[in-house]
Amino acid sequence: MYDRYNRRVNYLRISVTDRCNLRCVYCMPAEGVVQLSHTDILSFDEILEVVHVAVDMGVDKIRITGGEPLVRKGIVHLVKMIAEIDGVKDLAMTSNASFLSKYARDLKDAGLHRINVSLDTMNPEKYAEITRGGDINAVFAGLKAAEKVGLNPIKINCVISNSSDEPDARMVRDFANKNGYQVRFIHMMDLETGYFQPVEGGEGGNCASCNRLRLTSNGLIKPCLFSTRGYSVRELGPQEAIEMALKHKPKRGGLNPEGSFYSIGG
Ligand code: SAM
Ligand code: SF4
């Protein structure tokens, strides 16, 4: 499918939960996160229905994200059911990897192709500070497990404050290079001010070639991370919600003062 700026849209990012075991400083508040109620969160059947319709409309690339996708109960089963849909050529996940060592084998067997793991520093204390309590050793164990089971490529998402030459980013790059992982540097974004830049080493943030739509955990198809628009698959049905999002996909990102990374999926 094509939008009004003739961009081919073939990529759907699905946030399967707004919940997360971590509280990264740039993503979530330390306390007082208002969580969606369980009834607001799409069921697996609802997600699968959206994927079926999206694939019929031309999507062939799916990414599962969150919140933290590995905290959603039954996630391996969902991956399996999405992988079995004819027409899904590329199935990826973005995870903080806290629980990846436990799930890597099952995810691979379920049909996940590849994984992006978020890691902004190589320093355990700093990692714990950024994530407000995360254990960097769990991430390393998760990466090793992903490698062992053959998830490929493994990409590291590294959020940077200013430049990919800053010390933490350099150390993450060295670590990735040593281990055969790819690395993408994501400039810290601000939905409220509309601040974003292209991802270094990736495709995100490049509006002219943007090929994506997003499905939030509560069932809104969003045309852009930096847009307040969202079309409910429950109210409109998946086809109309996707058509509306496609029709309103902006030429470039604007502001999204109501949005948050953990609910839209980053
Ligand atoms: N919990 C998973 C994780 O952290 O990988 C998946 C969801 S997270 C919202 C997806 C991506 O968004 C992560 O790579 C994270 O670093 C990034 N992210 C979150 N807040 C951000 C911000 N303010 N600016 C740039 N990237 C951000
Ligand atoms: Fe959780 Fe990912 Fe947001 Fe960190 S970036 S708080 S791991 S959803």
pLDDT digits (tens, 9 = 90+) for 173-211: 999 999 999 999 999 999 888 888 889 988 888 999 999
Quote the CA–CA distance of 92 and 250 in Å, as a whole number.
25
Structure-model confidence comparison of residues 170 and 31, the more confident one: 170
Second-level CATH architecture of 11-264: Alpha-Beta Barrel (3.20)
pLDDT of residue 259: 84
Greatest distance between any 2 Cα atoms in the chain: 49
Residue 61 has pLDDT above 90, yes or no: yes
Query: Ligand 1 site: residues with CB under 6 angstroms?
Result: 20, 26-27, 65-66, 68, 94-96, 118, 157, 159, 186, 188-189, 261-262, 265-266
pTM for this prediction: 0.97
Closest-CA residue, ligand 1 atom 13, reads 118
> What confidence tens digit (pLDDT) does each residue in 76-105 have?
999 999 999 999 999 999 999 999 999 999
pLDDT of residue 266: 83
Test site for ligand 2: of 131, 132, 139, 217, most ligand atoms within 8 A of the Cβ: 131
Residue 265 has pLDDT above 90, yes or no: no
Domain spans in the chain, listed from the N-terminal domain onward? 11-264
* Average pLDDT value for the chain: 96
Residue 260 has pLDDT above 90, yes or no: no
